[in-house]
Amino acid sequence: MLSINNLHARVEDKPILKGVTLEVPAGEVHAIMGPNGAGKSTLSYVLSGRGGYEVTEGSASLNGEDLLELEPNERAAKGVFLSFQYPLEIPGVPALTFIRTAVNAQRRARGEDEIAAPAFLKLAKEKAASLKIDFEMLKRGLNVGFSGGEKKRMEIFQMAMLSPKFLILDETDSGLDIDALKIVSEGVNALRSPERGMLVITHYQRLLDYIKPDRVHVLAAGRIVASGGPELALQLEAEGYDKYAGAAA
């Protein structure tokens, strides 16, 4: 489903990704772990099309379609969703308005009809309840005044509302306590399906207790230096990243 081939990317002339190759089949959850500075966030930004990141070599495609040539919103319409490590506050734009605008923009891009207001509200109430989000909070500015945990839950809520094909979760567990972590993980797991793929980027193994991956990859110094089953994550937790520090020079 997601195909990354020998991807090289740099930020302001500094090479960060130095040849990443990765396949995530539909229906699978792959975890990317690695030391700080390895390029984990860079990978998520390059896949989602954030400005300031230059691809110097290689390719990335979703279901056979090249991603790198598309604008960020075009990638979103194709089904890519990035859950931000630090979700933004947008004062003055109510959360519901923001999401409805996004839903309709993606539908228009795909040639579909826009969602009707009653249907949208019904769906929003449903998903909010399942994520234990107070519906009234959705009428306030997006993420304004939300705690870290609440912001992450809002990311999952948006995911549920947009129904993406491929999810990239960038350090979704950072700043979360156990309770928040459980709710967020439940929300993510509820989205698992044979038609959906996921890339879970995390520094700590803990998240993977709740969102169990099919494969685990280690990203160090801009390259995937090891791949394995879920037990690889446990190994990393026990041994740390030291042995990969000098690996991909």
Partner 1 sequence: MSLSTALKTGDVTALPSRRDEDWRWTDLRGLIRVLPEAAPKFEGEVAAGPFAGLTDGEILFVNGRHVATSGQGEVMGLRFVAATEKASQAASYALVVEPGASLTLLESHEGRAAGYISDVALDIAVGEGASLTRIVLVEDEAEAVNVVTASVDLAAGATFNQTVLTGGARRQRIETHVAHPGAHAQVRLDGIYLLSGQRHADQTTVVTHGGVDGVTSQLTKGMVADQARGVFQGRIIVQPGADQTDARMGHHALILSDKAEIDAKPELLIFADDVACAHGNTIGALDEEAVFYARQRGIPELEARAMLTEAFVGEVVERIEHAGARQIAAAWVAKQLGRSEEGGAE
Query: Which residues contact partner 1 (rule: CB under 8 A)?
Result: 48-51, 71-73, 75-77, 80-82, 84, 87-88, 90-93, 98-99, 101-103, 105-106, 109, 141, 158, 162
Residue closer to partner 1, measured from CB, 162 or 234 = 162
Token reading at 230 = 């879920």
With left for phi above 0 and alpha for psi between -120 and 50, is residue 6 left, alpha or beta?
left
Residue closer to partner 1, measured from CB, 39 or 49 = 49
Contact, 76 vs 148, CB < 8 A? no
Torsion of CA 224, 163, 63, 169, to 10 degrees: -10
DSSP assignment, residue 137?
G
Torsion of CA 208, 51, 12, 36, to 10 degrees: -10
- Tell me the C-alpha distance between 24 and 76, whole Å: 18
Q: Minimal distance in Å, beta carbon 128 to partner 1?
A: 17
Residue closer to partner 1, measured from CB, 22 or 159 = 159
Residue closer to partner 1, measured from CB, 88 or 119 = 88
